Amino acid sequence: MLNRVRSAVAHLVSSGGVPPPRPKSPDSPNANSAQPASLPEAPKSPPARSGSGSGAPAKTVETRTSFSRPTFLQLSPGGLRRADDQAGRAVQSPPDTGRRLPWNTGYAEVINAGKSRHNEDQACCEVVYVEGRKSVTGAPKDPSPSQGLCFYYWGLFDGHAGGGAAEMASRLLHRHIREQLKDLVEILRDPSPPPLCLSSTPGASNPSHLVAPQSCWSSQKEVTHESLVVGAIENAFQLMDEQMARERRGHQVEGGCCALVVIYLLGKVYVANAGDSRAIIIRNGEIIPMSREFTPETERQRLQLLGFLKPELLGSEFTHLEFPRRVQPKELGQRMLYRDQNMTGWAYKKIELEDLRFPLVCGEGKKARVMATIGVTRGLGDHNLKVCSSTLPIKPFLSCFPEVQVYDLTLYEHCPDDVLVLGTDGLWDVTSDHEVATTVDRVLSAYEPNDSSRYTALAQALVLGARGTPRDRGWRLPNNKLGSGDDISVFVIPLGGPGSYS
């Protein structure tokens, strides 16, 4: 992720007072006071995988010399070196000869042009089997052999300020999701509505959800199977984030990452996004957005409200008010444009002393920042992130919760050219949804519908189209504009075959 975390500049008003203590977890909106009933025993994080490509000359001083690329790329030591070469920026895809990704998913990636030592994007694509816990609903013991559930999983993780968080998330997030789904196997297999209560001890009877409502207030809200899966994904993101917090000291979980995750389960596609990656479906040429980006601009009011309700999180350096630019001391007493947590419009206010503090949210577009530091407002990790020249933590303003959108695959007849495209911001910074749709049409129509290599070719075309070619001292697109110097990663998931969805 290019420039995702920017150190606060020297123009920051220096803090005159003692830095406030880091707020306790329950004060943070990200903390969940209602702990899910059981924490999964997620596998211990091993040290980051070491690639022999670490011999490449480091461009910046960095203590971490090991790095990894997704296993499914099946890179040899030489391949790993080429993938890590920021001069050549060769596009990487799974080998033709190897085992194909599930659903014939296409994948391609390229390293950044030198903004970080290694590629800080990570990816994961797995078929995950979920073994159910027994008798969670308290039903009489089923004599038939226990049956589990399978889900298909794709994840893109765009790291910043180090590759540790993205690497850890790519190894573990799907396991957290699996753990969250274990309790639900029996329930999701049963077409009747989910039970209100589970017995606390497996096998015990559970009469509580049979009790008739006793007043209008006890009338029961209907909860769908789909919303249970959404809740499982949401809690898995939180547990992943908590695991990073626990293990950050022992295992050097560096930085943070955006997470864009797709799950296919029982006929439905769940797209969960925390950060500024993006997912779109192209169906019969039509663009269907499947995610929203979470940035200081799109989450301005959430951030300002938190700063307003918990001013101690702002220290003495920041104000929750937004101004069109930094207020200058000589403007004290004048009336300047501002907006607060309740406003979408702007108005004038008289400038007071505390308005001279740095605004919590500032800048526009790719330059928008929270606390003059970070340009994304949701994701995993970042537990150590502090405002430059300060001990003020930024994490309380960041949310680890994804927004989940659901797409029912059974409601439409999909053709082989219908695809779900996932990309990190390296793709979307220089490519519009419409341009992606055009490329989908152009590339797929050049291949037979049953040619299983067409989705990888499409992913490569998208990455190449965003990277450009070296020309005029930079990577440039055909229109001579600058290509993306960021890490770029793309999944192309066919929705209409030839993949098997059983």
| 333-392: contacts with its own copies (CB under 8 A) | 333-350, 358, 362-364, 367, 372
Closest residue by Cα to residue 371 from 117, 17, 2, 15: 15
Q: Does 23 bind its own copies (CB under 8 A)?
A: no
Which CB atom, from 113 or from 371, has the smaller least distance to its own copies? 371
- # residues near its own copies by CB under 8 A: 84
Closest residue by Cα to residue 168 from 122, 130, 129: 122
Pairing status of strand 369-370 against strand 380-381: unpaired
- How far apart are CB 376 and its own copies at their closest, in Å? 17
Task: List Cα–Cα distances, 328 to 2, 334, 355, 412, 466, in angstroms.
Answer: 30, 10, 9, 57, 40
442-481: contacts with its own copies (CB under 8 A): none
Which CB atom, from 82 or from 349, has the smaller least distance to its own copies? 349
- How far apart are CB 242 and its own copies at their closest, in Å? 13
Which CB atom, from 338 or from 475, has the smaller least distance to its own copies? 338
- How far apart are CB 394 and its own copies at their closest, in Å? 16
Which CB atom, from 396 or from 496, has the smaller least distance to its own copies? 396
Which CB atom, from 33 or from 144, has the smaller least distance to its own copies? 33
- How far apart are CB 429 and its own copies at their closest, in Å? 18
Which CB atom, from 105 or from 238, has the smaller least distance to its own copies? 238
What three-state secondary structure class fits 362? strand
Whole-angstrom distance, CA of residue 480 vs CA of residue 181: 49
- How far apart are CB 11 and its own copies at their closest, in Å? 5
Closest residue by Cα to residue 342 from 305, 310, 311, 303: 305
Residue 156: what residue type? L
71-110: contacts with its own copies (CB under 8 A): none
Whole-angstrom distance, CA of residue 140 vs CA of residue 202: 10
Stretch near its own copies under the rule CB under 8 A, chosen from 88-96, 146-154, 322-330, 451-459: 322-330
- How far apart are CB 177 and its own copies at their closest, in Å? 12
Contact status, residue 45 vs residue 172, Cβ threshold 8 Å: yes
The residue from 264, 294, 401, 455 that contacts its own copies (CB under 8 A) is 401
The residue from 24, 99, 141, 330 that contacts its own copies (CB under 8 A) is 330
Whole-angstrom distance, CA of residue 11 vs CA of residue 19: 18
Reading the block at residue 188, the tokens are: 């999701």
Stretch near its own copies under the rule CB under 8 A, chosen from 42-50, 156-164, 285-293, 331-339: 331-339
Cα 177–Cα 182–Cα 184 angle in degrees, nearest 5: 100
280-309: contacts with its own copies (CB under 8 A): 305-306, 308-309
171-230: contacts with its own copies (CB under 8 A): 180, 183, 194, 196-200, 206, 208, 211, 213-223, 226-230
Which CB atom, from 215 or from 479, has the smaller least distance to its own copies? 215
Backbone angle region of 310, left / alpha / beta, with phi > 0 → left and psi within -120 to 50 → alpha: beta
Which CB atom, from 30 or from 71, has the smaller least distance to its own copies? 30
30-49: contacts with its own copies (CB under 8 A): 30, 32-37
- How far apart are CB 248 and its own copies at their closest, in Å? 21
- How far apart are CB 369 and its own copies at their closest, in Å? 9
* Cα R_g (the chain), whole angstroms: 24
Reading the block at residue 313, the tokens are: 């999180």
Contact status, residue 232 vs residue 180, Cβ threshold 8 Å: yes
How would you write 439-482 as a 3-class SS string? Answer: HHHHHHCCCCCCCCCHHHHHHHHHHHHHHCEECCCCEECCCCCE
